[in-house]
Structure 1
């Protein structure tokens, strides 16, 4: 926490590379006042356009590969173009139940080749470029979802509008 603001960072962005930029999303527009998420970006080759290179943990309306604009203050200012990908987010509660499905989830992600980013050991953001491959992932966590020890959402369930 810095100056009363909690920053959410991406330790291992899905598309990490050299020459990347970071910009912030003020999460207050998503009813998370006092929080900002650091989003990794790379230039697209078109002035003022940047490609999202991480899978958002909290910011809505964004997914890996989307093209956004940023302000001079390094804040994400607008969504320019969607990539067609989606981000599935899962939060595991504490304490963990005996039927902890995190290792089954990791195995399912590996088996279908989906990229993911973990924020600690209880929150994961999953890149879904094609909905036809998601079923093994859903199956891996279904018991916990039904038991209310894991919760999920799509990042595109709300629109991003920083204004």
Structure 2
């Protein structure tokens, strides 16, 4: 959804999830505002509707801080997240690969293989952004040990959100 200068409104850029880990037959899409109103960046979040205005997150947010898989959120009349009402205990490990890095494709394959080997649900955005679900009790140390030297080589940036 975009609106242009002729309408007197700012452009809205929406980051979407191509293959959310919790995709199901009854998903409901809401959005999280990623910026102040002038910038217009939002992230689409796949959810399962619990009540009229509460939803359980069914994807791994790439850019929305403070919301993780299976957290319960409320929305306003514009379907924008207004609050987290229950944390699930899941954490999200995010990695952003440096597009210009000479070994970006190899880094992608390495991280993809590591998350699969560890049995961790994950999502990719444009082959450059990785979000990994860390369910309660998951030890991310093996994945972090893979990430550290790649970050030191300026091949990626990473973080863990809860």
Alignment match, 2:89: 84
Query: What is the TM-score when the length of structure 1 is the normalising length?
Result: 0.85
In the alignment, structure 1 residue 20 sits paired with structure 2 residue 18: no
Length, aligned pairs only: 154
Distance 1:54 1:121, change over 3 A: same
Among 70, 74, 94, the residue aligned to 1:65: 70
Q: 5+ residue gaps in structure 2?
A: 4-10
CA distance in 2, matches of 1:98, 1:22: 35
Indicate conservation of the 8 Å contact 1:28/1:35, yes or no: yes
Deviations 1:27-63 (A, max 9, x none): 115x99321100111023x453210000001111000
Partners of 1:60 and 1:34 lie apart in 2 by: 16
d(CA) in 1 for partners of 2:66, 2:22: 19
1:104 CA drift (Å): 1.5
5+ long unaligned stretches in structure 1: 157-163
Distance 1:109 1:25, change over 3 A: same
- C-alpha displacement at 1:13, in angstroms? 0.6
Larger radius of gyration between Structure 1 and Structure 2: 2
Contact 1:59 1:155 in 2 (8 A): no
Q: CA deviation at 1:141?
A: 2.3
- 2:48–2:58: 8 Å Cα contact kept in structure 1? yes
Q: SS of the counterpart of 2:24?
A: coil
Question: Does the 8 Å CA contact 1:66/1:81 hold for their aligned counterparts?
Answer: yes
Moved more, 62-71 or 142-151: 142-151
Of structures 1 and 2, the one with the larger relative CO (CA 8 A, separation 6+) is 1
1:97 Cα deviation (Å)? Answer: 3.0
Compute the RMSD of aligned alpha carbons. Answer: 2.1
